[in-house]
Structures are given as structure tokens and as C-alpha cells.
Amino acid sequence: MPKKDLLTPFQYDKSIFAKQSSKTQEQKKAKPGNYKETLKRLWKYLAVNKSLLIWVVIMVVISSAMGLLGPYLVGYVIDHYIVEDGTANFLTLLVMLGIIYLLFSLSTWYQNYWMIGIAQKTVFTLRTNLFAHLQKLPIPFFDKRQHGELMSRVTNDIENISSTLNSSVIQVISSVLTLAGTLGVMLWMSPLLTLLTLTIVPLMFFGMKWITNRTGKLFKEQQKNLGELNGYIEETISGQRIVKAFSQEEKVINEFLEKGDKLRTAGFWAQTYSGFIPKLMNGLNNLSFAIIAGVGGILAINGWVSIGTIVIFTEYSRQFTRPLNDLANQFNTLLSAIAGAERVFDILDEQEEYKNEEGLDELSSIKGEVIFENVSFEYEEGGKTLKDISISVMPGETAAFVGPTGAGKTTIINLLSRFYEVNAGKIYLDGTDISKIKKESMREHMGFVLQDPFLFQGTVMDNIRYGRLDGTDEEVVEAAKLANAHSFIMKLPKKYETVLNQDGSGISQGQRQLLSIARAFLANPSILILDEATSSIDTVTELKIQEALQKLMVGRTSFVIAHRLNTIRQADKIFVLQDGRITEKGTHEQLMKKKGFYFELNQGLAAVGEHVTS
């Protein structure tokens, strides 16, 4: 008996992940509709529990054998005791019948218990691999996809596989065994009656083929529509503020209805067609029953077969069509799970961001000199977002980027952080081409303070510690003090232990920015990337933010997408970007003297308020 306890808590096993993911990378990609390949890959996950699977098969063999023996013994009792008034030990036979049904029940129970364990473990590994793999995918992957749709793959598609594994594997093995066993015994008992039973098989085959041809496509459609619907739900929940602010509730509901209707239609047809299967099987089952009862009756009257044989055959004819019926039903579930598995493997096949980095440089420390040399970049072919950018920023300098919306300021940051790769030209960090440096090692020296600081569900302490996970409580408090965040944190209900929501509700926009600055202080990066928030914040908090940022920038190379005159004036170098090109560069004084775009921007917007850029 297997000793492994299936109920012990699971742990994320990196070694399984490494093994599985490297294998999947090597394998031929499972193309949509490539069922064989997808099943093979799914089997690799299942096969980790091979020994337990063998036990499941043993139990299925026992239960199938007992299922066959039961009716045979009943027929035997009829022929030898009821019809012939026989002499054998009637009680012994009854005890045997009892044992058969007990064994049947026990083996059925164990096969389910173990199979559910295997299924849960398999799905756990698959889900963990998928999630871990998602963490390693590059930013462009996420930029191109709807987040809710991705979530649907981690949740719904995996769940689909789970429920199929829970029941289908046993069903399929048991059905095949029962089918083969029943056929063998039937042939042995009466080839003629067996032939009669088999007359329905071609009808079943063609009926099934007709139905599954339609359901396969429909199930895939259903999964796709469900993914899209989930994507829409996720989007509208995160965008509720905008939905309400623009009174778009009705529009959102209508769009939801439209998507829901697509899902409903696909679901309706998939279920309707697959619902035909049991009906068809039932009809054919009854037909076979009638044929055996009718023809068998005539044969029995003429003394060619015994009454017991007819009884056994009517039961076996049911046992013969039932596994066919089950197989047909499982086929549908299997198709739906394969559709889910294909979507999961699609993601597992995506190239990890840090793959192929062997042999690249690792940086233990950096000075922070950054040079862009004739860099050009396009997000999509023909889109030329940045054109021939050349800039140099010395260690400790602050470079500010200004320009109209869509000019390419964020893209410069995206390239420096290597969220995207340059199409032409080079970026050097301390004289080394950054494409020759391991991305992770480079990012460890970079700190980000972004416009919309993302907070995670967790305490203030944990949210600041996100900057450096091994930071002590004292270091976190110190960072918060440097970021001018300490005083407001101390006024929160549980101070540093106050739990924040994912969307940061409960604290103000400005306070969120202060927390984000504290994070950067804790991370203590050599290169600081700062995307100034454009939202207006009360004057006191604004001053706190400005002061904290000025402190943070000291001694670090800072790249600032600047929106405030104050930040720009103090920058060592200002780069004016227009339509993907640097059109002006210099200090504030130099650019003002030049009386170009920067001068106009300053004149016009300074009169309106603080913000310089759009």
C-alpha cells in the first residue's frame, strides 16, 4: 500500500518547477488542437506520482473484475438453484457474493481517494509552475494582454483540469477494463448473444463522432469567452472610480451583457450537444436490452441458452454500454480540460525574461554613469517611438526629461530598466553595454518611485520593506523618517502595523507617494528612476514629497520624468523630448537663454501653475 500521505501540506517545490519548466521549453509547443501533444505534457505532470497511479490502476482492476463477477454469480445462482433446484452450497455462494460486493466497494473507495490526491497534487504543481512562470515573464508580455484573461488561465483553466483529473482518469481506465472484460466473458458465454449486443456499436460510434466534432470547438470557444469575460470583470472592478466618475455604469453593464451573451451561447451549444450523448447512449442501451431480451427469449424457449445466461447477458449488455457511455461523457470533459491545458501550456511556453543570461556580467556595485548612444526604439514595427537618442549622465547627476505627452519619456526609462530592449544603438552603464549585464543584477541597483505607487495588501511595515526584503524594522522606520512618512504613519490606527488595502484606500495619494519614497530609501539604489506624480496634492504633503525626493536624489544618478518646475530647475541636465527625439538639452539657465520649446513651455505653464509638462 502506498505510504505517502496525500494530505500533508504542499510546498512550492522549486526543483519540480525547474524540472518541469525546462522540459516544457524543450518540448514541441502544443499548438491549438494538438491534443496528443497536450495530453503528453499533462501526463508528464501526472507521472510524477507513478507508483500511486499504479495502485489506482490495481484498484480499478479489482473493482472492474468484481463488477463482472457479480452478475455472473447471480446468473449461476438462478440456473443452479432456482431453475434446476441444485445441490451446491447455496450459503457459500451468497457469502462469495457478499465478498465480491465488499471488495468492489473498498476498491472503488480507494481508487477515488488516491486519484483525488494525485489530481490535487498535479494541479497544485501545474498552478504553481504557471504562477512562478508568470513572475518571470517580461513586461511586454503583460503589456500586450488583458490581466483578467491571464487570471482566468491560472484559476478557471486550472480548475477545469483539476475536476477532469479527479474523475476522468479513473473513469477512462475503469471503462476500458470493464469493456474489455465484459466483452471477453460475453464471447466466452455466448458468441451469438455477444454479436447481438455488438450491433449497436457502429451506431454509437457514428453518433458520438457527430456530436464530439461539434463539442470540441464549442468547449474551446466557451473557455476563451470565459477568459474574456473575466478580463472585463477585472478591468471594470479596478476602474470603478472612472466608471462612476463618468457615469458609465450602463455602458459597462451593456458590454458585460454582450460578452456574457457570447459565453452563454457557446455554453448553451456545448452543453446541448454534449447533453445528447447520454440520451443517445441510453436509447442504444435500451435497444440492445430489447434485442437480447427478445432474441435471447426465443433462444431460451428453444433450449439453446439457459435463463441464467439471458439474465447475465442483459446485465452485461448494460455493463457493456455503460463504459461506452462513460467514455463518451469523459471525452467531453477531457476536451474541455485539454482546451484549458492548452491555454496553460501556451503561457508556460513563453520565454522567461532571465533565460539565456548565462555568462553575462553581474554587478556587485555601480558608480552610476549612464550613456545612451544613438538609441532608437519602436514598440511595434514601423512605430519609431524613439529616434537616435544620445545622452550621457554622470554618477550622482540628475537628468530631467520634459516634453509633451507621448514624446517618449517613459520609454527612455523602460529601456534603461530593460523592460524593453533597444532596436538600435547602445546603452552603457559604467562603460558596460547593458545588454551584457544580467537584468536582475542591474535592477538590484535601481530604485523606482513611480506616479502610481502600488501598495500590496499588507502592513505599512511590509509595504516599505518591499524595497529591500531583508531590511530590519529599525531600517524601515529610518527610511520612513527620511521619506517624511514617519509622522503620518504614527497617526495611523496601528502605526506601522496598520494593514493597507491593495488599492491603498485608507491613506491619501500623497501619503502613498511618501511610502513609495520610503521604499526607495530602504532599497538605497545607485540609480533612481522617478516618475513625478502629476496629481495635485495638498501643499503641505507636496512640500514633504519634494523635500524627501531632493534628499533621495543626493548621491544617486537620477532619471526624472519631471512635471514640476522645482525639480527641473535643480536638475544637472534637462532633456527636451518631442516626437521621440531630443530637441534641446542643457541646464535650466542654458535652455531659458535659448528661448526654444523649453522656454515657451516654461513661460506658458509657469503662468498657469507649477506643472511644466502635460
Ligand X SMILES: Nc1ncnc2c1ncn2[C@@H]1O[C@H](COP(=O)(O)OP(=O)(O)OP(=O)(O)O)[C@@H](O)[C@H]1O
Q: Of 84 and 610, which CB lies nearer to ligand X in the complex structure? A: 610
**Tally of CB atoms within 10 A around 359:** 7
Q: Copy the grid coordinates of residue 53.
A: 497511479
**Tally of CB atoms within 10 A around 495:** 14
Using the rule CB under 6 A, which residue among 409, 544, 556, 564 binds ligand X?
Answer: 409
Q: Of 452 and 497, which CB lies nearer to ligand X in the complex structure? A: 452
Q: What are phi and psi of 366, to 5 degrees?
A: -135, 155
Q: Is 473 in the site for ligand X (CB under 6 A)?
A: no
Across the beta sheet with 398-402, the strand order is 446-449, 527-531, 557-561, 398-402, 573-578, 581-586
Q: Of 179 and 533, which CB lies nearer to ligand X in the complex structure? A: 533
Residue 24 beta carbon to ligand X: minimum distance, rounded to whole angstroms: 27
| CB-based burial label for 56 (10 Å; 0-12, 13-18, 19+) | buried
Q: Of 340 and 403, which CB lies nearer to ligand X in the complex structure? A: 403
Cβ-Cβ contacts under 8 Å for 38 (sequence gap 6 or more): 30, 338, 341, 342, 345
Q: Of 29 and 611, which CB lies nearer to ligand X in the complex structure? A: 611
How far does the chain reach from its first CA to its final CA, in angstroms? 71
Q: Is 406 in the site for ligand X (CB under 6 A)?
A: yes
Q: Is 407 in the site for ligand X (CB under 6 A)?
A: yes
Q: Is 399 in the site for ligand X (CB under 6 A)?
A: no
Residue 389 beta carbon to ligand X: minimum distance, rounded to whole angstroms: 11
| CB-based burial label for 9 (10 Å; 0-12, 13-18, 19+) | exposed
Using the rule CB under 6 A, which residue among 11, 87, 405, 539 binds ligand X?
Answer: 405
Count CA atoms closer than 13 A to 377's CA, side-chain side.
26
Tell which residue, 458, 478, 571, 567, has the closest CA to residue 519: 478
Stretch that binds ligand X, among 30-38, 183-191, 377-385, 487-495 (CB under 6 A): 377-385
Q: Is 408 in the site for ligand X (CB under 6 A)?
A: yes
Stretch that binds ligand X, among 36-44, 157-165, 246-254, 379-387 (CB under 6 A): 379-387
Q: Of 17 and 379, which CB lies nearer to ligand X in the complex structure? A: 379
* Number of residues forming the site for ligand X (CB under 6 A): 13
How would you classify residue 506: left for phi > 0, otherwise alpha for psi between -120 and 50, otherwise beta? left
Q: Is 535 in the site for ligand X (CB under 6 A)?
A: no
Alpha helices by DSSP H, listed for 349-406, are none
Using the rule CB under 6 A, which residue among 238, 410, 578, 583 binds ligand X?
Answer: 410
| 187-206: contacts with ligand X (CB under 6 A) | none
Q: Of 221 and 531, which CB lies nearer to ligand X in the complex structure? A: 531
Q: Is 530 in the site for ligand X (CB under 6 A)?
A: no
Q: CA 426: distance to chain centroid?
A: 35
Stretch that binds ligand X, among 60-68, 402-410, 432-440, 454-462 (CB under 6 A): 402-410
Instruction: Tell me how far apart the alpha carbons of residues 197 and 313 are, in angstroms, rounded to a whole number.
Output: 9
Q: Is 227 in the site for ligand X (CB under 6 A)?
A: no
Cβ-Cβ contacts under 8 Å for 154 (sequence gap 6 or more): 127, 130, 131, 134
Using the rule CB under 6 A, which residue among 35, 379, 428, 466 binds ligand X?
Answer: 379
The number of residues making up the chain comes to: 614
Q: Of 143 and 452, which CB lies nearer to ligand X in the complex structure? A: 143
Q: Is 516 in the site for ligand X (CB under 6 A)?
A: no
| 116-145: contacts with ligand X (CB under 6 A) | 143
Q: Is 546 in the site for ligand X (CB under 6 A)?
A: no
- The residues that touch ligand X, with contacts defined as CB under 6 A, are 143, 379-380, 385, 403, 405-411, 614
